[in-house]
Amino acid sequence: MAARGAKTAGRRFGKISTDVIRINVAGTRYYVVANAAAELGMAASSDDGATDCNVYWIDGPVPLERYLELRSYQKINHFPGMGEISRKDALARNIQRMRKENRREYNFYPGTWVLPADHGVLSQHTARLRRRRQRKTFIVKPHHGSMGNGIYLTQSPDAILPSEKAIVQEYLDKPFLLDGFKCDLRIYVLVTSCKPLRILVFKDGLVRLSTERYSPPSDFNLEQMCMHLTNYSINRHSASFDTDERDDRGSKRTLSSFMVWLHKTGHNVVELWAKIHDIIVKTLILAYPHILHSCTVSRHGHLPNGKSQFFEILGFDVLLDHTLQPWVLEVNRSPSFGTDADLDLHIKTAVIRDALKLANISLSDKLTEEACQRQASRGDLNLTPATPTPDNTTSLLNKLMLQQRKQAGELQRRSD
């Protein structure tokens, strides 16, 4: 039966010995975070007021204030600026921009139009297809949607309302099939630093299968979401969802068992991993300048000892086509750490535990900062205040708000 991590009671840190790393988990709804932290000997608190912690874990998105209020020895599990690849419209825009210069390098993302701004270009494209008598399928996704919500398939993009706030994407209609079902890969990626950019890919993850056998899109099956979408949130409601909990069976499997199966059936797994790594790095390069810029503006990013203040687990959704080419569909910056099955519990606990280990959180970070503060107050060092005062918090916040409004205005102008 379903396995869930035991709930960890929230408590104030005051009663806990000071020589233990403290993690504030008030911002996450996943018990597995506190459990993984406990395995590493950390003390977890689900009390929002427990600000004297070494690390914050938040499901996201992180409010600007939270970044600005961070003390310079504290870490947080997100990078500012990562929205540039995790929002569907932003990822599509960044890829479009990159393709102008490097078309061949960025061919791992299906052709995409961001509506309403690209409605005219999409109309031209469909007119061209009509002239050539080609019938193509498109998948329409709300800009800020998730878990398959609001997604539909169409072969008549002309019928999409010009005002719709959605992305329209070429539908990859020849997916790699597993036992006759479409599937996608959830790859967990850890970013531990942006300067230099350090990216680690977890060896295990999930393979999610649809629950109706796949047939190429046609007038008769376009609405069959359990055939065309692989989201667990959609397929788990199907009577055909296979709850077999063995790693290599059922509608949810481990990535490692899938790779073993691929190898046994004669596929080149080493080459596949190399391609997956390649597209992960290229996708993160899109976010890189935005992260650096946000760190500069907020004057956060590195602890006094040079360690990164941010780390982030990203959930890459990767679809394989029938030739085993990987395609990036989406990047989730708050991947679900729900643990409906033992398999989830096992993999997600390991991912979080490894991330906390690799984030390199140590008690000495705080001591180093306190030493720097003492030196600064004696005038030995030329430092900006480590803890933002209300005054400079307000001015930094205004600066960031202004920057965000400018970006929002820019997006709005593009979509008008």
Residues in touch with ligand ADP (CB under 6 A): 110, 139, 141, 145-149, 151, 169, 171-172, 184, 229-231, 317, 319, 329-330
**Closest CB 153 distance from ligand ADP, rounded Å:** 9
**Closest CB 284 distance from ligand ADP, rounded Å:** 18
**Closest CB 92 distance from ligand ADP, rounded Å:** 11
**Closest CB 74 distance from ligand ADP, rounded Å:** 30
Q: How far is CA 286 from CA 95, 97, 161, 290, in A?
A: 8, 10, 30, 8
Closest-CA residue to 52 (of 370, 402, 366, 379): 366
Residue closer to ligand ADP by CB (options 171, 258) is 171
Give how far the C-alpha of residue 324 lies from the chain's centroid of Cα atoms, to the nearest Å.
23
Residue closer to ligand ADP by CB (options 189, 295) is 189
Residue closer to ligand ADP by CB (options 10, 110) is 110
Give how far the C-alpha of residue 124 lies from the chain's centroid of Cα atoms, to the nearest Å.
33
78 in Cβ contact with 60 (< 8 Å): yes
Residue closer to ligand ADP by CB (options 61, 145) is 145
**Closest CB 88 distance from ligand ADP, rounded Å:** 7
Q: How far apart are CA 211 and CA 217, in angstroms?
A: 16
DSSP code of 20?
S
Q: How many CB atoms lie within 10 A of CB 233?
A: 14
Non-local (6+) Cβ contacts of 137 within 8 A are 153, 154, 155, 170, 171, 173, 217, 222
Residue closer to ligand ADP by CB (options 36, 284) is 284
Residue closer to ligand ADP by CB (options 75, 182) is 182
Q: How far apart are CA 149 and CA 9, in angstroms?
A: 33
Residue closer to ligand ADP by CB (options 115, 172) is 172
Element containing residue 411 per DSSP (H, E) = helix 390-415
Give the total residue count for the chain: 416
Structure tokens at 262: 């691929």
Residue closer to ligand ADP by CB (options 238, 392) is 238
Residue closer to ligand ADP by CB (options 87, 307) is 87
Residue closer to ligand ADP by CB (options 233, 403) is 233
**Closest CB 332 distance from ligand ADP, rounded Å:** 7
Q: How far is CA 130 from CA 157, 158, 171, in A?
A: 11, 11, 17
**Closest CB 150 distance from ligand ADP, rounded Å:** 8
Q: How far apart are CA 366 and CA 54, in angstroms?
A: 8
Q: How far apart are CA 36 and CA 40, in angstroms?
A: 7
**Closest CB 410 distance from ligand ADP, rounded Å:** 24
**Closest CB 180 distance from ligand ADP, rounded Å:** 15
Non-local (6+) Cβ contacts of 134 within 8 A are none
**Closest CB 297 distance from ligand ADP, rounded Å:** 28
Strand partners, 313: 190
b/e for 293-307, b at 16 or more Cβ within 10 A? ebbebbbbbbbbeeb
